[in-house]
Structure 1
């Protein structure tokens, strides 16, 4: 193919793409990039490390525990901050000084945040005296909703899977109703809860979740809740 023909083909392809974007109203995709979420509202670097962060479904909001003194956090008591990646605004969504925060979960619209908090760092790690809290971003209200730690939430933020000593369970944050999902010692990962909270997977080596379980090894089960 001649250079002229190649140029004509490229031009035709570019024109076709431009027309398609104009007709559909679609924007050209952004190139891959990396941005740092753990910075202050003015863009200054954090002066301490964050821990396990969570991001909203649309990629705009991030909730991150941090031990950076700059935003008012303590070295051994991670605070919890929300970051709007579009505006740069940073807000506090935690219980204040004296609590260590971790494991945030965001609803799809980022209107609700669930997190685990405890008054002592070792207690938080082992889920002793630590609790699960819910934060309403619109009203700013924070309330303790359960003992234990949330591992995953439904898209609407209404239900969470809670891990505690008694086994995994599904908690409705609106009503407080808790439904057992597995036996003591069972494990449930971050993808364990169905989008509407009606089913949950768990792994267990117990012999009694279903009849005739005689293989003597850990299995994966599905608990149908409603």
Structure 2
């Protein structure tokens, strides 16, 4: 069955319902009721597979989480404490792996055994950035997927964290923290090929500032945690615009779409999708936005109502929803491939795929077509 066609048909049906009848309102907008069709991805059948497995399919013997996916959905990076995902190099502690969906290969990307935060894979799948503890400070590292070689990214502060990668992995946006008096923090973009750094913004505090970079490295959306404001910086002129949410409300950054056109942010109990060119916002009420696909059309969100699905994918143009998981699950930024085809998430549920007996948190991929 052609699932692209199914999605188009669902969009048309939804639009017809909006015009011809009174609609039922789901969180944030009128939405089509999810279809139950044989062969469509469901939590117990086709369309969902476990990613945190060894090349031979052996389930991990540790917790896996923090997955990010390439734009084409081919490669997924994730962190795991499992020792058996790469039998030739079992190791210990938290490490980073890449799963190639085309070759079914699971490759070790990092041999660091200290706690590692969520990795980020470049849109083309060639590089993985991660941040973890090195001695007493947090540093950013970049690994090349093909060779496995790791580059330590120069960090001017005592700690660098929250990396965000351009599509080709050349530009790394990160938060650098200087803990020695006077304590301060700045957002910067590192071009590791030319060994140059641009300062995006600098704050006189160390409260939760983090960036999200566009695919071409031109735009950086960033959060000032103390002011609770979100801004967008343009590398062509070095200027920042914002706060994009206006002066009357607080905001928390979720993600900038890779095309640089949409910024997802949270304010109160609602999610907003900001159009950079027009300056307008699309409201998705009473949900927590989690990620947006590279084109800015598909929003992954978690409803505040815990009695229904835990993760849902919304087509922002048609207002239709696709259920990602009914079981308890979570996800982070860069979790959706182009066109909303693939979504990666993590869950401790043991009934998402058959044979899940490890009693651990696993990483899963849901494919819609």
Structure 2 equivalent of residue 194 of structure 1: 337
TM-score, length-scaled by structure 1: 0.66
Residues 63, 150 of structure 1: CA spacing in aligned structure 2 closer, same or farther, 3 A cutoff? Answer: same
Aligned partners of 1:108, 1:169: CA distance in 2, in Å?
20
Q: 1:34 Cα shift? A: 1.6
Task: Find out whether 1:147 has 2:249 as its counterpart.
Answer: no
Map 1:75-224 to 2 at 5 A.
75=226, 77-118=227-268, 130-164=269-303, 165=306, 166-224=309-367
Aligned with residue 59 of structure 1, among 212, 217, 223: 217
Higher alpha-carbon Rg: 1
Q: 1:196 Cα shift? A: 2.6
Is the contact made by 1:113 and 1:134 (CA closer than 8 Å) also made in structure 2?
A: yes
Aligned partners of 2:224, 2:358: CA distance in 1, in Å?
44
CA deviation string 1:17-65 (max 9, x = no partner):
xxxxxxxxxxxx96211221015xxxxxx44556121111111111112
Number of positions where the alignment pairs a residue of Structure 1 with one of Structure 2: 173
Is the contact made by 1:52 and 1:104 (CA closer than 8 Å) also made in structure 2?
A: no
Aligned partners of 1:218, 1:62: CA distance in 2, in Å?
32
Structure 1 equivalent of residue 201 of structure 2: 38
* Structure 2 residue matching 1:100: 3-state secondary structure: coil
CA deviation string 1:162-193 (max 9, x = no partner):
23444122121212222111234212233432
Is the contact made by 1:48 and 1:66 (CA closer than 8 Å) also made in structure 2?
A: no
* Structure 1 residue matching 2:246: 3-state secondary structure: coil
Residues 110, 191 of structure 1: CA spacing in aligned structure 2 closer, same or farther, 3 A cutoff? Answer: closer
RMSD: 2.5
Residues 205, 108 of structure 1: CA spacing in aligned structure 2 closer, same or farther, 3 A cutoff? Answer: closer
Aligned partners of 1:34, 1:206: CA distance in 2, in Å?
43
Aligned partners of 2:285, 2:320: CA distance in 1, in Å?
10
TM-score, length-scaled by structure 2: 0.42
